[in-house]
Amino acid sequence: MEKKTAIIIGATGLVGNMLLQQLLQNENYGKIKIFVRKKIDLQHEKLEQQIIDFENPEKLKQFITGDELFSVLGTTLKKAGSKDAQYKVDYTYQYEFAKIASENNVKSYFLVSSAGANENSRSFYMKMKAELDRDVQKLQFKNIQIFRPSALAGKRKETRITEILVVKIGTFLARLFPKFRKYRPIHGYIVARGLVNLANNQKAEEKTRAKIYQYEEIFDIAGISHKLKSITILQ
């Protein structure tokens, strides 16, 4: 079987880093292309790094080619500094990159969005996420798969106090109120594993062209019980 080429944007983030490691180890892939602002300290025979200015992705259009695009880019409002800056990272950069990939005939698209994404939400973040989910589905990919995980748990390169609190509060609320269960924290490893499994499911093409997966579905695709206390086990 011919080896596939995967593309990742957001490879230095929590999910992105775990996704990169899993793809490099997967025998179905012959090349992993990552588009980063600066090179990461990692060498592998399958790895190809491209330095990108997300303000001008067209300059690298010739390199945005392959079989699958994994879009796991994201930032926080605090790190971005303003809503406009966060919108650029979480919506504009991801959409523009996906648009180029679709024009270059990349076949499959995998996006990590967020639980609670809603175009009518009063939350800037949730509305932004839903708008990206909606708009990428209009692009000409053959397969579009969108994950909507809740707060992401796992070891990060940088400490994000707000996200640590969200994980703890989400866990507490989910134990008390059933309606909050879809907001239970999920480990980044599980999200990454689900993406890889979904991309390599032989029946994927038989499924609906565009599909959104929620909390428990992500666990099922990853092959891990959602009852597992994975936040501590997998760290």
Asked if the structure places residue 157 within a domain, the reply is no
Cα-based angle 4, 107, 196 (whole degrees, multiple of 5): 55
198 in any annotated domain: yes
**Beta partners for 48?**
33
Query: Which CATH number goes with the domain that contains 50?
Result: 3.40.50.720
CB of 33 within 8 A of CB of 5? yes
143 within a domain of the structure (yes/no)? yes
> In total, how many domains does the chain have?
1
Per the model's pLDDT, the better-predicted residue between 157 and 25 turns out to be 25
71 DSSP β-pair partners: 9, 111
DSSP state of 158: S
Q: What is the pLDDT of residues 118-145, one digit of tens each?
A: 999 999 999 999 999 999 999 999 999 9
Rounded to two decimals, what is the model's pTM? 0.86
- Residue 42's domain comprises 4-152+187-225
Contact 113, 91 (CB under 8 A): no
The two beta strands, 186-187 and 210-213, are unpaired
Q: Residue 53 has which token pair?
A: 């200015």
Q: Quick one: pLDDT at residue 228?
A: 54
Give the tens place of pLDDT for each residue, 38-75.
999 999 999 999 999 999 999 999 999 999 999 999 99
pLDDT digits (tens, 9 = 90+) for 80-123: 999 999 999 999 999 999 999 999 999 999 999 999 999 999 99
Higher pLDDT, 173 or 151: 151
- Between CA 78 and CA 160 the distance in angstroms is 9
Q: Is there a domain that residue 85 lies in?
A: yes
Residue with tokens 């992401």: 152
Is residue 218, in this structure, part of any structural domain at all? yes
Is residue 12 a part of any domain in this protein?
yes
